[in-house]
């Protein structure tokens, strides 16, 4: 290997937003992450399931209101033409 072309490989800390600190080795002395294995919902078992059926129902209700409003506007426009 050539001397002076490789980055320094030093002791490093990975710091999470939750406060967890993991010791490792890297080319950077400090790495800051937003989520780690100590606070990720998949690993902690505190996973929250989203009520997709409720969201779909709300979307369909909004779509029905929009279609009804468009139909009413079209009906009003045809009455004005007569």
pTM of the model: 0.48
pLDDT digits (tens, 9 = 90+) for 32-45: 988 888 888 777 77
Are the CB atoms for 35 and 15 separated by under 8 Å? no
Rounded to the nearest integer, the mean pLDDT of the chain is 83
Range of the domain at 20: 10-69
Are the CB atoms for 32 and 39 separated by under 8 Å? no
Structure tokens at 51: 């009520």
Are the CB atoms for 30 and 15 separated by under 8 Å? yes
CATH of the domain at 54: 4.10.80.400
Q: Based on the structure, what is the number of domains in the chain? A: 1
Q: CA-to-CA distance for 15 and 62, rounded, in angstroms?
A: 44
Kindly state whether residue 76 falls inside one of the protein's structural domains. no
Kindly state whether residue 77 falls inside one of the protein's structural domains. no
Kindly state whether residue 42 falls inside one of the protein's structural domains. yes
Reply yes or no on whether the pLDDT at 82 is more than 70.
no
Kindly state whether residue 5 falls inside one of the protein's structural domains. no
Kindly state whether residue 4 falls inside one of the protein's structural domains. no
Phi, psi of 64 (to 5 degrees): -65, -40
């Amino acid at each position: 290997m050539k001397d002076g072309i490789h980055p320094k490989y030093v002791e490093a800390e990975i710091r999470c937003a939750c406060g967890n600190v993991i010791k490792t080795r890297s080319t950077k002395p400090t790495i800051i992450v937003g989520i780690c294995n100590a606070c990720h919902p998949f690993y902690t078992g505190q996973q929250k399931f989203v009520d997709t059926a409720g969201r779909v129902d709300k979307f369909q209700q909004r779509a029905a209101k929009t279609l009804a409003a468009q139909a009413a506007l079209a009906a009003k426009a045809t009455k004005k033409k007569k």
